[in-house]
A and B are shown apart, each in its own frame.
Chain A
Amino acid sequence: MLRELYVIFKGFVRTFGALQIFFLRLLQHSPSVFVKRFRLVVHQIYNAGALSLVIIMVCGLFVGGVLGLQGYSNLARFNAEDSVGTFAAFSLLKELGPVITALLFAGRAGTALSSEIGLMKATDQLAAMEMMAINPLRRVLVPRFLGGAISMPMLTAVFNVVGLFGAHIVAVNLMGVDAGAFWQQIHSGLDPSDVYEGILKSIVFGIVASLLAVWEGYNAVPTAEGVGRATTRTVVSTAIAVLILDFMITAVMI
């Protein structure tokens, strides 16, 4: 029993170390790839970012709507329904925006990344690039990593804006909260530091989600089952990592 735990622990430490070295290698190549192969990065921003917009916006609208409903019905008990704007903005900008965007991003873009890379590996495309003296790290992995990491904060911003819009529709248009009070409360209740916290989270989550997606794809067992498993692991490990990091960042920032 203890022995098994030790083996699991050792495996975890080893994987975690390898992941960090992989991350450093990605970072090492990132600046030059960003400058020299900007078109590849833009293409990946389109893949990871633009193509995720629909799911981000739909989810953002409904999350905002729920916040509006919940906020209104609870705050109304204290005759504080005017504060529903602050409530929604706080929740969205600081927590729900970055976290839900990261989870959706893992499901929509992360899985696409890891299965694409895994399949390229399984069909020898990465080895073929190696043989053509083209570093797959620079040609395939780094552009995808950068595309994801750049897209995530932007997607979070979109999610927050649409979410606030959703909260506005529910609270103001349906429940009859005064629009002036709604926005005034947000304006006076929110500090810049609250916004920065959300931005910091979205940047960190973007890096983590993209890193894990590229990592899982690159380390996939080159079979149909292996690629499928890598895709699943991308979502699972991103979710765990994002929620743990969310707690840690919140604890530090408070």
Chain B
Amino acid sequence: MIDQTDNIVEIRDLDYSIGERQIFKGLNIDIQRGKITAIMGPSGTGKTTLLRLITRQAVPDRGHIIVDGRDLAKMSQQELYTLRRKMGMLFQNGALLTDYNVFENVAFPLREHTKLPARLIRHIVLTKLHAVGLRGAADMMPRELSGGMERRVALARAMVMDPDILIYDEPFVGLDPISMGVIVRLVRKMNDALGISSIIVSHDVQEISTVADCSYLISNGKVAGSGSPDELHNTSSEVVRQFMHGMADGPVAFHYSAPDYAEQLLGRDTE
């Protein structure tokens, strides 16, 4: 722990497994305050799991996760909730409350945590919805929205409490190029203007390269490479090169581990 004030999240020697499968083995990651950090990796490497660990929706088997200078494992539920008020998270599928319309969904954290007057809540919610371009959809129900719109509403909801840390789980999936561009600029703008620290999980190398200050590439439960997008592009590491350039052949297998192809097709594997 060299300089605590500089890193908003520090992960040290993290081990985590689900059932028999070991997801992380001695993972170390530093996420700098006020920067946009990308977590990349092939699907199934546990990127979403990592977000769950950082927000203590899951508890690691071993190792420490320090968020804002405090060890998550030593927090009471009350302290954890206080910390989470400063975090906003964008779930992969949006996770909007299906009983409420778009406006109420974005207003939900405000109504739960503050006693602001209705006019002010309305003002804040409409501003956030405007930022994601969905002010006109305020009265719609979540089931009437497309996947991309749902994600944008969820982003507005994640921002509504003005968090210090914003966590995005695959924010670019399912967005059309126009909203993708807007969202990328929005992420950038919030970081620069408000000093928010952002953590983005994605495997969209192109988009990440335009927005991230620093990227981590996770493979086989460890950090395979890290640095700015340029550094990653010009790295000598085989794993990183394969991922950044989308090559089928390399140290990372495209196929999930399986018995021999020919043997299985011939039905010999069952013996």
Contacts and interface: CB of A to CB of B under 8 A. Distances in A.
Contacts of B154: 128
A132 B87 CA distance: 8
A77 to B, nearest CB: 56
Interface in B116-152: none
Contacts of B96: 125, 128
Contacts of B157: 132
Interface in A131-145: 131-135, 139
A211 to B, nearest CB: 22
B82 A133 contact: yes
Interface string A85-119: 00000000000000000000000000000000001
A125 B95 contact: yes
Contact of A131 (B57, B77, B92, B113): B57
A133 B112 CA distance: 9
Contact of A124 (B77, B95, B161): B95
A128 B77 CA distance: 16
A123 interface: yes
- For the residues of B in contact with A, the DSSP-based class is mixed
B210 interface: no
A124 B92 CA distance: 9
B95 A123 contact: yes
Nearest to A130: B57
B93 A124 contact: yes
A142 to B, nearest CB: 14
Interface centre among B82, B95, B154 (most CB of A within 10 A): B95
Nearest to B161: A132
Contact of B112 (A124, A128, A130, A132): A132
Contacts of B57: 127, 130-131
Interface residues of A, number: 14
Contact of A139 (B84, B87, B89, B112): B112
B182 to A, nearest CB: 23
A50 to B, nearest CB: 17
Contacts, number: 51
Given A125-B97, A127-B57, A139-B112, A133 B91 contact: no
A134 B109 contact: yes
B108 A124 contact: no
A132 B95 contact: no
A145 B182 CA distance: 43
B89 A131 contact: yes
B191 interface: no
B87 A131 contact: yes
B98 A133 contact: no
A222 B192 CA distance: 38
B254 interface: no
Contact of B91 (A119, A128, A134, A139): A128
Contact of A128 (B81, B89, B113): B89
Interface centre among A127, A133, A135 (most CB of B within 10 A): A133
Given A123-B98, A125-B95, A135 B89 contact: no
Interface in B47-87: 55, 57, 77, 81-82, 84-85, 87
A46 to B, nearest CB: 14
B81 to A, nearest CB: 4
Contacts of A120: 97-98
B106 to A, nearest CB: 11
A123 B108 CA distance: 17
A112 to B, nearest CB: 13
A130 B55 CA distance: 9
A128 B57 CA distance: 10
A133 B85 contact: yes
A128 B157 CA distance: 10
Contacts of B97: 120, 125, 128
A179 B49 CA distance: 70
Contact of A132 (B82, B93, B98, B109): B109
26 contacts: A120-B97, A120-B98, A123-B93, A123-B95, A124-B91, A124-B92, A124-B95, A125-B95, A125-B97, A127-B95, A128-B91, A130-B57, A130-B84, A131-B55, A131-B57, A132-B84, A132-B109, A132-B161, A133-B81, A133-B84, A133-B85, A133-B113, A134-B109, A135-B77, A135-B81, A139-B112
Give the 9 A-B CB pairs with smallest separation, nearest first: A124-B95, A128-B95, A133-B84, A133-B81, A131-B89, A133-B85, A132-B109, A124-B91, A134-B112
Given A123-B98, A124-B91, A128-B97, 13 more contacts: A124-B95, A125-B96, A128-B89, A128-B91, A128-B95, A130-B57, A130-B84, A131-B57, A131-B88, A131-B89, A132-B161, A133-B81, A133-B109
Interface of B: 55, 57, 77, 81-82, 84-85, 87-89, 91-93, 95-98, 108-109, 112-113, 154, 157, 161
